[in-house]
Structure 1
Amino acid sequence: MKQGIHPDYHKVVFQDSSTGYKFMSSSTKGSDETIEWEDGNTYPLIRVEISSDSHPFYTGKQKFTQADGAVDRFNKKYGLSNN
């Protein structure tokens, strides 16, 4: 790797704004806000609007559309039939 062209990665804490869930990861993003983590050290805090704790896909609250209904509506709209 070339020296001096890559961003500096450091540990930061991300907090889900809607649930309060916190997790630590590496990032190049910084923050003026800090938080004391479970290990007793202070890290930059980055607030996010959605995380795996609140995203419908991960929480199991995602709504699935029925593909067969969409196909039927398409066939009705364009006059296609299975005859």
Structure 2
Amino acid sequence: MKQGIHPEYRKVVFMDSTTEFKFITGSTRYSNETITMEDGNEYPLIRVDVSSDSHPFYTGRQKFASADGRIERFNKKYQR
């Protein structure tokens, strides 16, 4: 790999803004904000709006569109 052209890969903390859930992972994202975690180390902090802790698909609180009456309306419209 060429030197000086790749972003720095380091451990960062991603924090879900809605649930305050935090996790450490590797990233090239840059942040001026830092946070001290339970292990005593200080990491750059990246705030995210949605994570697996708050996304409806992962939490099981997903809403499905109701299809009530659609089949009946289709059949009535096309006389089936």
TM above 0.5, yes or no, is yes
Unaligned runs of 5+ in 2: none
Instruction: Specify the alignment match of 1:19 in structure 2.
Output: 19
Instruction: Specify the alignment match of 1:75 in structure 2.
Output: 74
Cα offsets for 1:8-52 (capped at 9, x unmatched): 211000111111100011111111110011211100001111111
Cα separation, 1, equivalents of 2:20 and 2:66: 33
Q: How many residues align?
A: 79
Cα distance, 1:75 vs structure 2: 2.8
Cα separation, 1, equivalents of 2:24 and 2:72: 46
- Determine what percentage of the aligned residue pairs are the same residue: 56
**1:1-83 correspondence runs (5 A):** 2-4=1-3, 5-66=5-66, 69=68, 72=71, 75=74, 79-82=77-80
Does the residue aligned with 1:23 lie in a helix, a strand or coil? Answer: strand
Does the residue aligned with 2:63 lie in a helix, a strand or coil? Answer: coil
Cα separation, 2, equivalents of 1:52 and 1:34: 22
Unaligned runs of 5+ in 1: none
Cα distance, 1:65 vs structure 2: 2.9
Structure 1 vs Structure 2 CA RMSD: 2.4
